Amino acid sequence: MKRAIIIAALLLTTTLGWSQAKKPTIMVVPSDAYCERNGYVQHFKTMGDELDVPDYAKALKQDVDMRDLIAHMAEFMAQNNFPLQSLEQELKRLQTEDAEMAMMTGKTGSEIDETPVERLRRNAKADIILDLDYQIERNGPRQQVRFNLQAIDAYSSKIISGNTGLGTNSGAPLPLLLGEVVESFKDNFLRGLQNHFDDMFRNGREVTVTILKYGNCPFDFDDDIEIDGDDYEFRDWVEEWFQDNTKEGRFSTDAASANRIRFTQVRIPLYSQNRKGRDVAIDANDFVKPLVREIKQKLNVPVGATPRGLGDVWITVGDK
């Protein structure tokens, strides 16, 4: 009883905190291993190489047990104020959008313009992926469920919570066994998510920022540039901006070349003050807006920002 009260108190703290910050989207996705093992894959050829991609729509349509497991998970996550984004509904939405946009024409017969990048933006992924794998093992009339569940930060690729195990070996109906499996791991799993969110409150949200150069940019990222009368190498000047604006100067320069700079493990505050002095929740795109303005104004070049979710953003220099 005492343990249950402690867990409830921790979850209440999370709920109150996330009620003010931008919540990450959480989605259950069948694991690659599960899809490959059960034949739920699509085969593509690209640049002469064969590529197998998980076919989530087929998996959800044909595997009733997977749907039941996801339904059980959605129920307990919602009860603990972590509502899931539905993979099945997201796939349907994208399919409907594609069909509607293909049929749309203006009064003069012109069609909707959409660049490949804009289509990728419509295919937004979840910020936290719940990677789910399971197998049903049968021994005569008895059966049990072997499962593996990992919560993965989609941008850092870090595992933030996980559980593996084997359900009860019994002759109970399979839907009941699936429910028991969820009950067996949910407390530990929620505690792992809680630890991840506590870390965010203490140390900031971990995001990734990539700076890319268009061909018409007048300088390379390893060139010296003049800013406010002083000469800087562009990437050194940008790193200095990150040192001044991240939580406790915490970030890593993952790659730096003449055309590309990638910052990972960038710790940003959950809140920032707007022009009226009010605290507002921010994500990666909000965080880099001052940097985008500074590059544009001080170097007189076009600069754009492309958000790829709450925790990932691309900055393009030389064009938008």
In a domain, 55, yes or no: yes
Q: Point out the domain boundary residue: 160, 179, 202.
A: 202
Is 135 in the same domain as 186? yes
Q: How far apart are CA 136 and CA 175, in angstroms?
A: 12
Tokens representing 243?
């040192």
Q: How many CA atoms lie within 13 A of 163 on its CB side?
A: 19
Q: How far apart are CA 176 and CA 196, in angstroms?
A: 30
Total domains, the chain: 2
Is 127 in the same domain as 230? no
Tokens representing 225?
């540039």
Q: Which domain holds residue 275?
A: 204-317
In a domain, 222, yes or no: yes
Mean pLDDT, the chain, rounded, equals 81
Is 129 in the same domain as 251? no
- Specify whether the CB–CB gap between 93 and 87 falls below 8 A: no
In a domain, 109, yes or no: no
In a domain, 261, yes or no: yes
In a domain, 112, yes or no: no
Is 193 in the same domain as 209? no
Tokens representing 97?
């959008």
In a domain, 57, yes or no: yes
Is 136 in the same domain as 235? no
Is 275 in the same domain as 190? no
Is 49 in the same domain as 167? yes
Handedness of CA 14, 25, 310, 156 (dihedral sign): positive
Alpha helix positions (H), 204-319: 234-245, 284-299
Is 221 in the same domain as 74? no
Q: Point out the domain boundary residue: 202, 227, 252.
A: 202
Is 77 in the same domain as 163? yes
Q: Point out the domain boundary residue: 202, 223, 256.
A: 202
One pLDDT digit (tens) per residue for the chain, 320 residues: 444 444 444 444 444 444 455 667 788 889 989 999 999 988 877 666 777 888 888 998 999 888 888 888 888 888 877 788 888 888 777 777 767 666 655 555 555 555 544 554 455 567 788 899 988 888 878 888 888 889 988 777 788 888 887 777 777 777 788 788 888 888 888 888 888 888 888 898 899 999 999 998 999 999 998 888 889 899 999 999 999 999 999 999 998 999 999 999 999 988 887 788 888 888 899 999 999 999 999 999 999 998 887 788 999 999 87
In a domain, 267, yes or no: yes
pLDDT digits (tens, 9 = 90+) for 133-151: 988 888 878 888 888 889 9
Is 193 in the same domain as 285? no
Looking at residue 241, the DSSP 8-state letter turns out to be H
Is 236 in the same domain as 299? yes
- Specify whether the CB–CB gap between 254 and 266 falls below 8 A: no
Q: How far apart are CA 77 and CA 11, in angstroms?
A: 11
Which pLDDT belongs to residue 248?
A: 92
Is 179 in the same domain as 209? no
Q: How far apart are CA 159 and CA 134, in angstroms?
A: 18
In a domain, 180, yes or no: yes
CATH code for the domain of 186: 3.40.50
